Chain A
Amino acid sequence: MMWMDVENITLTINDSSVSGREGMTILEVAKENGIDIPTLCYIPELSPTGACRICVVEVEGSRALVAACHTPIAQGMVIRTHSPKVLETRKTIVELLMASHCGFCMICEKANICDLRKIAADLEVGLPRFETEKRFYQIEDVSPYVQRDMSKCVLCWKCIRACREIAKKNVYGTAYRGFDAKVVVDCDQPLNKEVCRDCGICINYCPTGALTRPKKLGEEKKGKPLVISS
């Protein structure tokens, strides 16, 4: 539709005037204008969930900070994405996530490509000061397609949404409450091949090393046969 393309909403982000279309979120407008807001639970193609709260920004007139990933823009909004208040809050949240994270970064497969670690480094969050207990679960390696190490899960609900909205399978759900909240299959059973086929979409979306493709023994050796020509 023609009118959809008209940028008719003007707002201020970090003291510069920008414009956006109706129905866009703060995050989308910020991205278009080259402002980087860190996100953990946001996937552009899926519905937002607002779970990680790392993308919080300051909106003038709002008592609390709002999450950029799901808040639609409005005419005349005045937004600050990197004010001291925002940065302080973001740092606290990441520090909290790191505090309960198992912290096997050295031996984790995702070590250098982990989203949580990237965000922590960007926000200059060092070793967490909070002494909360860490989540430890047994590695679930029943399924030949997906290996789940829930100790590394940061509960961003990405796998749940990817499975529900892209694979249309609804394999994952949430269970328990508070700190014990966990992404589960059925009634907290290990993932098995009866419920999950090998689409592996969730693995691609996992920001940490919680979901990985299981390595078969000797897989690396499998390749072209070695031919020695004389």
Chain B
Amino acid sequence: MPQKRVVLKNCGIIDPRQIATYLQQDGFKAWQKVSTEMTPEQVIEEVKTSGLRGRGGAGFPCWLKWDLARKSPGIEKYVICNADEGEMGTFKDKYILGNDPFSLIEGIAIAAYAVGARQSFIYLRAEYHYLLDLLQQAIKQVEAKGFLKHVKIDIRLGAGAYVCGEESALMDSIEGKRGEARYRPPFPTTEGLWQKPTTINNVETLMNIPQIILNGASWFNQIGTERSKGTKVFSVSGDVAKPGVYELVLGTPLRELVVDLAAGEKIKAVQVGGSAGRIVPYDKIDTPLSFETVLGSGAVIVLNESRDIVNAVYKSLEFLAEESCGKCAPCREGTKAIVGIMEKFSKGEGSERDIKLLEQLSSALPLSSLCGLGQAAPFPVMDSLQYFKDSYQSRIKEKKVGVVK
């Protein structure tokens, strides 16, 4: 399947500082259609038929979030755009925000209309502070054109915490508290920001909305696989000749992305979904990229044969252990324990007993952790134990130290 530009349609074509260039590319036509011809229920119905699922990693049906928030009692509701792209190896939102902020604002305008929100927040990652001015200018220009009479869009900057990309911690952060995961239920759609119904959508999810409204749900529904509709933007990095942002139809084999497009050679494994993502070994490289198989946030990190898997997993877990919010016991203590064991392996002191402990931890953490961070943290460990157990065992036998090939 070829590359298809749906989300990135305007990137590189329009000038992100000039709304006129966006209007030339059918900009705000979708919003005009929504505001004049459609009721909020119709908009939600349209998104439902399109089969759009959240692009942040979990793949929750977008329409369901909107519908639940719309039906929740209360006048005060919020729409949050999650632009806290903290996952290792993900840079798609940076590219989108820097090249086409107007589509995002149009998406937020439609989402706010569908949900019935009068206030919206863009939660921007602290590291993307240089995009703040561009986004604020874009919002001002859209406001001047009169497209944002029903909703006010504010930008909130994060403070560099990875866990604040998790929706409940993100809301805590906007409220001005320390970003900590909340327990669910109640879900954000009933009790979210300031205990009011809230929908939180990824940048990429909202970018799809204007296209769905303009071209129709059935057009969108035809793209992709049975349960994963549309396209996905991938950020490819690691041992490839052409790293960058690629947009592919969902269901495209991983090989096409990393070998054909990004020109990766001598691949050992591919980490799909960032630090807490799944590790796909080279013999499974024909796996289609979809919500049914592997996807995550769209981070694709390619490791070639010179890389050491145990070391890569160690580094991933070190990151996750540091970024855990420290609220729930399994994540706080469990990630630290995994790092401790991985450190032993990197020092050449690992044993068969440690593999057993790793297995025990990686079965307990996904079952008991409070939020996605702890639940997904042991995935690299699990996958590396499944596909690359020999590299652990060779370290035990030969007492290999440090980074080994």
Contact = CB atoms under 8 A, between A and B. Distances in A.
Interface of A: 48-54, 56, 64-65, 67, 70-72, 85, 88-89, 92-93, 96-97, 99-100, 129-133, 154-155, 157, 173-181
| Residue of B324, B333, B367 with most chain A CB atoms under a 10 A cut-off | B333
A64 B326 contact: no
B116 interface: no
B81 interface: no
Nearest to B163: A177
B185 interface: yes
B183 A99 contact: no
A125 B337 CA distance: 17
Given A50-B370, A65-B368, A178 B332 contact: yes
Chain B's interface: helix, strand, loop or mixed, by majority? helix
B364 interface: yes
Contacts of B369: 53, 64
Given A92-B364, A100-B336, A53 B329 contact: yes
| Residue of A67, A100, A130, A175 with most chain B CB atoms under a 10 A cut-off | A130
A92 B326 contact: no
B300 to A, nearest CB: 25
B367 A64 contact: yes
B322 A178 contact: yes
A93 B336 CA distance: 13
A51 to B, nearest CB: 5
Contacts of A179: 321, 324, 326, 332-333, 335-336
Nearest to A131: B340
Given A131-B340, A179-B333, A53 B178 contact: no
A131 to B, nearest CB: 6
Rank and list the top 4 A-B pairs by shortest CB-CB distance, nearest first: A181-B326, A50-B183, A96-B333, A92-B364
17 contacts: A64-B367, A64-B375, A72-B185, A88-B363, A92-B334, A92-B360, A92-B368, A93-B330, A93-B333, A93-B368, A96-B329, A97-B333, A178-B321, A178-B324, A178-B326, A178-B332, A181-B332
Interface string B370-385: 1000010000000000
B327 interface: yes
Interface in B175-196: 178, 180, 183, 185
A89 B364 contact: yes
Interface string B342-357: 0010000000010001
Contacts of A70: 183
Nearest to A86: B367
A65 B367 contact: yes
A51 B337 contact: no
Given A88-B360, A178-B332, A180-B326, 11 more contacts: A92-B360, A93-B368, A96-B329, A129-B353, A130-B357, A132-B333, A133-B340, A154-B329, A155-B326, A177-B322, A179-B321
Nearest to B325: A177
A100 B333 contact: yes
Contacts of A96: 329-330, 333-334, 337
A71 B329 contact: no
B366 interface: yes
A99 B338 CA distance: 12
B326 A53 contact: no
Contacts of A130: 337, 340-341, 357
B178 A174 contact: yes
Given A132-B340, A178-B323, A89 B332 contact: no
Chain A's interface: helix, strand, loop or mixed, by majority? loop
B343 to A, nearest CB: 10
| Residue of B163, B185, B323, B344 with most chain A CB atoms under a 10 A cut-off | B185
Contacts of B360: 88, 92
Contacts of B344: 131
B131 interface: no
B324 A93 contact: no
B59 to A, nearest CB: 13
B328 interface: yes
B361 interface: yes
B188 to A, nearest CB: 15
Given A130-B337, A130-B340, A177-B324, A85 B163 contact: no
A175 B180 CA distance: 11
B117 interface: no
Contacts of B370: 50-51, 53, 67
A55 B8 CA distance: 46
B43 interface: no
A49 B375 contact: no
Contacts of B44: none
Given A72-B185, A130-B340, A93 B329 contact: yes
Contacts of A89: 363-364, 367-368
A26 B183 CA distance: 14
Interface in B284-326: 321-326
Contacts of B336: 100, 132-133, 178-179
A24 B149 CA distance: 42
B367 A51 contact: no
B161 interface: yes
A176 B341 CA distance: 23
A145 B190 CA distance: 42
Contact of B361 (A72, A92, A175): A92
